[in-house]
Amino acid sequence: MRVTFASESVTEGHPDKICDKISDSVLDAALALDPQARVACETLVTENLTVITGEVSESVLDRLDVEAIARQAIRDIGYIFPDIGFCADTCEVLVRMKPQSPDIAQGVVGQGLFKERGAGDQGMMFGYATNEGRRNDIDTEFMPTPIALAHRLTRRLAEVRKQGIVPHLYPDGKAQVAVEYENGVPVGIANLVISTHHSRQLSLRDLRALLIEHVIAPVIPERLLPREVLARERDKLDSTVIFINPTGAFLVGGPKADAGLTGRKIIVDTYGGMGRHGGGAFSGKDPSKVDRSAAYMARYIAKNVVAAELADVCEVQIAYVIGHARPVSVRVETRHPTVPEHEISRVIQEVFDMRPAAIIEHLDLLRPIYTATAAYGHFGRPEFPWEATNRVAELQQALR
């Protein structure tokens, strides 16, 4: 039986992702000054306006030039054109940062009811991994195929813009990929969408041809989307297989068209909807916030379980109470496990230390590494420490 599942990704120039990058850039700047800094930074953008607020440790509060950090982040994305309604050098920037609440701080540093460094908030976090790509010889880094391909499309869209391969593009854009599955294995592309902001100098017909040639063809495996299909689709403006700017025009974009907020793309940031989400966003939060660090740990655990061939799919849920170090709940669900699921749950809790301080130490999270996470997903990218599969042998040994 065939089923279809779709996921979307957005470029770094999408209004919400502008905000994520600014917030994570502030976080990285704070960690560069003080690795123990506490940061919770929120950003809003709209036409010619950026607003930055939140909390930060007093040790760095007066040393952060938040406005300069924001303008550089906007510039790096590519908003350097004064005539499109949002520009790094001309937009207004308002900053309202204040110190972190002492009530929260005492629980995080072990001075509250529980005398151990505790979680920075309550909540539940999920991690997910699947070997579906490997079963069809597609390297998706243990991620669901729809979100992996959607991220590759938006990353490639940014590359062709920055390198001038496709001219007259602006930073705002998004992609969506619907993958057909047969018995849990990806077998084809039902349809895909790319929407991208561009200037009037580029016609929709030319844009379509250029994106099929320079973005879709290099990214989507031919076994999922045959090249003869791409050739047929090149000039079909009314296609229902490959949609390019399907409203017919994307001449007004970025913050001029839509306001953006930090943390509004949590499904894009994780697994594209395949797997559950606890609701907490990542960007702008230092790793004492388990919304971020425990979600990274849950992915790390799930990926190692699948890499150890203990299951085809693994989802891990970890729940915390603010100020308390040890999780109050750990739940594991698998698909096609090779050993009993309760045994997988047991060895996970033997092998992995899920206390916030241990997560931070093991994954080395007190470094300014977070700006790079702000677009194209937090998972499935080998450069990040939570993507390592270095606990496989320990899991297998614990089972023996």
CA 53 distance to own-chain centroid:
21
Active-site residue identified among 269, 291, 315, 333: 291
Q: Give me the catalytic one of 198, 208, 289, 324.
A: 289
Q: Which of 265, 292, 299, 303 is catalytic?
A: 265
Which of 209, 259, 319, 358 is catalytic? The answer is 259
Which of 5, 6, 12, 14 is catalytic? The answer is 14
Look up 265 and say whether it is catalytic.
yes
**Annotation marks residue 65 as catalytic:** no
Active-site residue, 206 included: no
The question of whether 291 is a catalytic residue gets the answer: yes
Could you say which of 34, 55, 116, 159 is catalytic?
Answer: 55
| Both tokens assigned to 232 | 């047929």
Catalytic residue among 285, 292, 299, 303: 285
Quick check: 296 and 359 in contact, CB under 8 A? yes
336 is catalytic: no
Question: Which residue in 42, 172, 286, 333 is the catalytic one?
Answer: 42
Q: Which of 8, 12, 16, 172 is flagged as catalytic?
A: 16
CB atoms within 10 A of CB 203: 11
Q: Fill in the amino acid letter for 242.
A: I
330-339 long-range contacts, CB within 8 A, separation 24+: 330/354, 332/305, 334/305, 334/310, 335/184, 335/311, 336/311, 336/312, 337/310, 337/311, 338/309, 338/310, 338/311, 339/310, 339/399
Exposure b/e, 56-95, CB count within 10 A at least 16 = b: bbeebbeebebeebbbebbeebbbeeeebbbbbeebebeb
Identified catalytic residue from 250, 282, 352, 384: 250
Name the catalytic one among 174, 208, 303, 391: 174
Options 264, 292, 299, 324, the catalytic residue: 264
* 21 is a catalytic site residue: no
Q: Is 180 a catalytic residue?
A: no
Q: Note if 14 is an active site residue.
A: yes
**Would you call 174 a catalytic residue per the annotation?**
yes
Residues 6+ apart with CB under 8 A from 311: 305, 334, 335, 336, 337, 338, 341, 344
Q: Which of 47, 213, 258, 309 is catalytic?
A: 258
Residue 256 catalytic?
A: no
- Supply the residues annotated as catalytic: 14, 16-17, 42, 55, 174, 250, 258-259, 264-265, 285, 289, 291
